[in-house]
Amino acid sequence: MSATWGRDFRVSIFGESHGSHIGIVIDGLPCGFKIDFEKVLKEMSRRAPGKSSISTSRKEDDIPEVISGVFNGYTTGAALAAIIKNKDYRSKDYSQLKDIMRPGHADYTSKIKYRGYNDYRGSGTFSGRITAALVFAGAIAKQILEEKDIYIASHIFSVKDIEDEKFSDATLTREKFRELNNAEISLLNSEKEDEIRRLVLETKKEGDSLGGIVECAAIGVRAGVGDPFFDSVESKISSIAFSVPAVKGIEFGSGFEITKMKGSNANDNFYFDEDGSIKTITNHNGGINGGISNGMPIVFRAAIKPTPSISMKQKTINIESRENTELELKGRHDPIIVPRVTVVLESVMAIALLDLID
């Protein structure tokens, strides 16, 4: 396993879905920062399970216990460690999965890699649950960035074929970001919420699952952030974003769409704004040129695959008996994780930017 990420702002993550705790060590925090723990808890509740009719019924308070690095309410400069107790797990739900490999999940690959010693209960360290620790670190990173006037938000860009709007000048604002951070379901066009909810419930009834796309952005990043050749803004964000389970694609700015344009359209023309600041007319490059921020909003979209744990009957293998077999999953599963992943992607973006900015 490779549990540590970052050069100057480092996180070391640990935990397994049905172990006693998950947690994280955060290293490289500035000293003297007053963490707003209420805000941290709010961020964590955005990811926590059992909150809505469209997520798993597993219920976890996800209350992190800070066990080092904070004294009298301020960061001490020493490593900050936090642990989160696992409470509502039902390991018997998973006993059949010891030998029968869920398609699309890490059961098979982790069994091979760890020669059967991996904690397979609740997907072990491959559970989306581990991302609660990332959200904890990200929530702190977001607060530190806000002191530098950098704000991060995201929204559900699409669920299957249902599309929200794209971020635009009108929505890349602090006001809208605050709104998105507070919403139960983050959408720019809130009218889509019912449609999404209906599709999710219907799919859940079928025993199937859904994926979607999350769009995430940071505003207020000054020009000059990013360390090419290898620590480009895109490299750093994608490196940690692809650690988030279920992410299968990432694109910055216009991303794959930019390949359909000609250079004369794709190039974002610079101009001096009335206040003397330098801006670009369009933002097809997602705020990044040559791996370095150009002062425009940094925007990326991540593709989230449908939850692999579905209750419909699936063809698969029994790795012990070495036979083809079928699997009907019991247990509580999210029919879609897209709404819960939004805050996870904001968190990894915050961690990546803070590592580059420091």
In this complex, which beta carbon is closest to its own copies, that of residue 87 or of residue 178?
87
Is residue 286 within 8 A of residue 71, CB to CB? The reply is no
Q: Which of 213, 219, 349, 357 binds its own copies (CB under 8 A)?
A: 213
Is residue 252 within 8 A of residue 246, CB to CB? The reply is no
CB of 19 to its own copies, least distance (A): 5
- Cα within 13 Å of Cα(219), Cβ side: 16
Q: CA torsion, points 193, 196, 202, 204, in degrees to nearest 10?
A: -100
Query: Is 268 a binder of its own copies (CB under 8 A)?
Result: yes
Distances (CA, A) of 343 to 17, 172, 330: 19, 17, 27
Surface-to-core class of residue 17, CB atoms within 10 Å of its CB (0-12 exposed, 13-18 middle, 19+ buried): buried
CB of 182 to its own copies, least distance (A): 25
What is the SS3 assignment for 16? coil
In this complex, which beta carbon is closest to its own copies, that of residue 70 or of residue 177?
70
Query: Is 96 a binder of its own copies (CB under 8 A)?
Result: no
Q: Rounded to whole angstroms, how far apart are CA atoms 171 and 215?
A: 12
- 65-84 binders of its own copies (CB under 8 A): 65, 67-69, 71, 74-81, 83
Query: Is 260 a binder of its own copies (CB under 8 A)?
Result: yes
CB of 80 to its own copies, least distance (A): 7
The site that binds its own copies (CB under 8 A) totals a number of residues, namely: 144
DSSP string over 290-302: TTEE-SSPEEEEE
Query: Is 40 a binder of its own copies (CB under 8 A)?
Result: no
In this complex, which beta carbon is closest to its own copies, that of residue 90 or of residue 113?
113
Q: Rounded to whole angstroms, how far apart are CA atoms 164 and 155?
A: 8
Query: Is 272 a binder of its own copies (CB under 8 A)?
Result: yes
In this complex, which beta carbon is closest to its own copies, that of residue 173 or of residue 316?
316
Query: Is 181 a binder of its own copies (CB under 8 A)?
Result: no
What is the SS3 assignment for 244? coil
- 4-33 binders of its own copies (CB under 8 A): 4-5, 7-8, 10, 12-16, 19-23, 25, 27-28, 31-32
CB of 51 to its own copies, least distance (A): 21
Using the contact rule CB under 8 A, the part of the chain among 49-57, 95-103, 139-147, 188-196 near its own copies is 95-103
Query: Is 220 a binder of its own copies (CB under 8 A)?
Result: no
Is residue 331 within 8 A of residue 94, CB to CB? The reply is yes
Q: Rounded to whole angstroms, how far apart are CA atoms 180 and 217?
A: 11
CB of 172 to its own copies, least distance (A): 18
Q: Provide the mask over 328-347, with x wherever binding to its own copies is found by CB under 8 A and - wherever it is not.
A: --------------------
Q: Which of 245, 297, 340, 349 binds its own copies (CB under 8 A)?
A: 245
Cis peptide leading into residue 300 (ω within 30°): no
Residues with Cβ within 8 Å of residue 103, at least 6 apart in sequence = 308, 314, 315, 316, 327
Is residue 102 within 8 A of residue 309, CB to CB? The reply is yes
- 186-205 binders of its own copies (CB under 8 A): 203
